Amino acid sequence: MRRSPQLYLLALGSMLVLAACGGTSSAGTSHASLPAPAGLLQSGQLSDCVDIEYSPMEYFPSASVTNPNQAIGFDVQGAQAVAKAWGVTLQVRNTGFDALIPDLTAGRCDIVWTALYVSQKRLAVADAVPYMATGQVVMVPKGNPKHIKTLDDLCGKKVSIQTGGVVEQRINDQSKICTNAGKSAIQIAGYPKVADEFQQIVVGRVDAVWETDTAVSDFMLKNPGKYEVGYAMPKTDSYGVYFQKNKPELKTGLSDALKALKADGTLPTLAKKYQIDPITLDVIK
């Protein structure tokens, strides 16, 4: 879908501990103190459009929690840390995946920090600062019954994805490679929500799921012994914090804040909390 790294994610026990806490978790113990950039939509507030359905990056701690400002996860708490360093409050807006960039460009939020790939399509309408390395994998049932070990093995197979992101573009490109080689096209089953794409392999409607390793690792930890990675793609992408074009002060402010929070250990500590390898933060420069 959207969005992954040598993230070797969120042990289920850690999730249960977080869920038991409820409310908004601490953004960390950062000592960074930086001036808030000019150009925020509202003085003293950083507004963040987030698609809160992507554990461990952004999710609600329990089914009873629906207030976006009580969401937890690496992205949300990273944004909290930036807001704290700037001396402003964070306001989270729960936003559907397809509306994230349109809402940003329409001025409904200052940033979009929600595990979105840095892609040329998005950079055509918004700017971004990278914060985490990322990649994609193809997940299959345990034992890999369809012997999916390369992308070419997906020809003629049914694969579920989340629509609207880089994965959709890449699976369509791969399907064309299949047909150009005289093989059957990939049967693509697209869904707007990550939970829905994973449900298709649970009920046996698809042969594989093409997703980021963030989401796949999390799903496999929650469903031990049932699934495995058939093929892992190179981790050559990155997640980025998006903001409107022509806002150089915001770009500088975000870059400075991310570097400071990485250097003082706030972001690496947060990564470890969610079982994410801190080396993925090396894209912050």
- The reported pLDDT for the residue numbered 7 is 39
- The reported pLDDT for the residue numbered 196 is 96
- The reported pLDDT for the residue numbered 167 is 93
Distances (CA, A) of 10 to 164, 167, 248: 25, 23, 35
- The reported pLDDT for the residue numbered 2 is 52
- The reported pLDDT for the residue numbered 24 is 39
Q: 268: alpha, beta or left, given left = phi > 0 and alpha = psi -120 to 50?
A: alpha
Spell out the per-residue pLDDT of the chain, length 285, in tens: 454 333 333 333 333 333 333 333 345 456 779 999 999 999 999 999 999 988 889 999 999 999 999 999 999 999 999 999 999 999 999 999 999 999 999 999 999 999 999 999 999 999 999 999 988 999 999 999 999 999 999 999 999 999 988 899 999 999 999 999 999 999 999 999 999 999 999 999 999 999 988 788 889 888 999 999 999 998 888 999 999 999 999 999 999 999 999 999 999 999 988 878 899 999 999
Structure tokens given for 114 = 């929600």
Which residue carries 């960074």 as its tokens? 32
Q: 12-134+236-283 and 136-232: same fold? A: yes
Q: What is 136-232's CATH superfamily?
A: Periplasmic binding protein-like II (3.40.190.10)
Classify 220 as helix, strand or coil.
Answer: helix
Structure tokens given for 21 = 């806490």
Query: What number of other Cβ atoms are within 10 A of residue 246's Cβ?
Result: 9
If you count them, how many residues does the chain have? 285
Give the β-pairing of 45-50 and 89-94: parallel
Q: For residues 174 and 193, what is the distance between their CA atoms, to the nearest angstrom?
A: 22
CATH assignment of 12-134+236-283, given 3.40.109.10, 3.40.50.970, 3.30.499.10, 3.40.190.10? 3.40.190.10
Q: Where are the domains of the chain?
A: 12-134+236-283, 136-232
In 3D space, the residue among 248, 260, 265, 258 whose CA is nearest the CA of residue 283 turns out to be 258
Strands (E), 36-166: 45-50, 89-94, 111-117, 126-134, 136-141, 158-162
Burial of 124 (0-12, 13-18, 19+ CB in 10 A): exposed
| Alpha helices for 106-247 (secondary structure H) | 120-123, 166-180, 194-202, 213-222
- The reported pLDDT for the residue numbered 17 is 35
